[in-house]
Chain A
Amino acid sequence: MSIAWGSLLVVFIVSFGAAVGVVVLVTCALVALSARARATTVPAGSAGGSGGGLSASAGTAVAGVCLAAAAAIVLFGLYIIVA
């Protein structure tokens, strides 16, 4: 009996990388977006403490990049399945 240990390992590595990658990217995007939310509630010049110390526009840009990267991982995965 031959067990495809290599394929099982591939499943684990790919699943781990894709899932953790997407979750981390989305979470980072939300943290970055928090900077924008803070900017609307905290007066200018105050220490916000969230959003990684980013300005509102930088936070939005970082969030956009993170979400685009997460979307790219998901779409690439779907492409692999369909192709």
Chain B
Amino acid sequence: MLLIFMLAGLWFAPAQAAIEAYEFDTPQMEADYNKLVDELRCLVCQNQNLAGSDADLAQDLRRETYEMLQQGKTPQQVVEFMVARYGDFVLYRPQFKSSTYLLWLGPFLLLVVVLVIVLRRLRAAAKPVEVDAAALADAKQLLEQEESDK
């Protein structure tokens, strides 16, 4: 019986760790918080966002996010705070700026390039083949000759 309780304890222990009860003054603040922790990357477990990570640093950054919002900072200011310390890498949605133009516009650029290539090929295929009239006459003559030789 004791063993069952101990096993149950093991089972539930990790699930509790990620829960922090933050109280928000306004629903807007809560929405901002949820959006931020959803869009900021956890630096330790790199393919998780802050909301989904149980890492120590993620907890600290959630606390930081919460406190900044409580102090009346805008979500934009929180994002700037994080980027100033951890770089663009913390953003799951990269900002649109000179160093990320290629990232954002690259796919469209590639699409344009491919469209140009495809259009050129189609036009080339649609163009009637130019044939030298003299050569055509020669060929015709050869064919006829072969026919009559049979």
Same complex: no
